[in-house]
Amino acid sequence: MTRSLRLAIALVALLAGATPDLAGATPDPAAAVDLADTPIVSVGGAVTEIIASLGAADRIRAVDTTSTHPAAAVAGRPNVGYMRQLSAEGILALGPVRVIAVEGAGPPDVLKLLAEAGVRIDRVTDEPSPAGLLAKVRTISALVGRKAEGEALAAEIEAGFAALAQDRATRTAHPRVLFVIALQNGRPMAAGAKSAAAAMMGLAGADNAVSGFDGYKPLSDEAIVAAAPDAVVFMDRPGLTAADLLALPAIAATPAGRRHAVFGMDGLALLGFGPRAPAAARDLMAALDRHLAGAPK
């Protein structure tokens, strides 16, 4: 009874004198521990992958829904939800943590609340290109205090891209690829310009069969036929198979459909621009070669 009475009095007082600066609960000084040992809330698929590649997977306390790889960094960890819908109290409830988030994580007000509560938040810029990936690796390795590992990883990735560039230079044929990220009501959502898929096609020595729009858009049947892709690559996910796509008359009517050059690739590896990007581009190149081998041009 006295407790609820005190609560009521406190509330009335609060409401009467509530001003925005009441939020000024100062961060606990004890919370400002050494950042190098602070558990990490890793937000963004590529961020989690890079932290794990730097050998710091054991420091990841929680991940977001876009982080699905590797299992060592993700399995058994609490999930803080979609990267743009984070929960302030949810993250604070994880104990003393720091947040390393890919650019675009949010909502901004939640990040503001976290920062006000004394949580260190670092944002990592994310550009779907080899240079962007190397920058991401260097930024994150500095943030987690593993610069040496970061340089080694960056060198490895650079070597991978360099080898890929050499392979590309020896090729004369540039297959036209239609990348399907998902089927929407039976219609393929295709990758246009300025998408991570288009960037990966370029790295794998292929051309994007569709143009005229940015990002991912549903394609009409006629646009698919007109694009005349030599191969159709889709994002591996439950409920989407090569047979589903080949069953679409428009796709069956393309060169890719006629020679059954329709295959799936791992989405995060191919589109996430994480440490696996060079290998994924190489896989794409090899898969294209395999499916188009001996095909009449």
Give, as ranges, the residues between 23 and 42 that touch other proteins (CB under 8 A).
Answer: 23-29, 31
With CB under 8 A as the contact rule, the residue among 70, 117, 183, 236 that binds other proteins is 117
Query: Quick one: angle between helices 147-169 and 130-143, nearest 10?
Result: 170
Residue closer to other proteins, measured from CB, 223 or 292: 223
Separation of alpha carbons 72 and 68, rounded Å: 10
Per DSSP, the residues of 112-132 read: HHHHHTT--EEEE---SSHHH
Cα 191–Cα 279–Cα 295 angle in degrees, nearest 5 = 65
Residue closer to other proteins, measured from CB, 160 or 267: 267
With CB under 8 A as the contact rule, the residue among 1, 20, 169, 172 that binds other proteins is 20
Separation of alpha carbons 261 and 218, rounded Å: 20
Is residue 22 within the footprint of other proteins (CB under 8 A)? yes
Separation of alpha carbons 29 and 97, rounded Å: 14
- Shortest spacing between CB 141 and other proteins, in angstroms: 23
Separation of alpha carbons 262 and 80, rounded Å: 35
Is residue 90 within the footprint of other proteins (CB under 8 A)? yes
Strands 98-102 and 231-235: unpaired
Amino acid residing at 183: L
Is residue 76 within the footprint of other proteins (CB under 8 A)? no
- Shortest spacing between CB 104 and other proteins, in angstroms: 6
Give, as ranges, the residues between 189 and 248 that touch other proteins (CB under 8 A).
Answer: 214-217
The site for other proteins (CB under 8 A) is made up of 3-4, 6-7, 9-11, 13-15, 17-29, 31, 62, 65, 78-82, 84-94, 96, 103-104, 107-110, 112-113, 116-118, 214-217
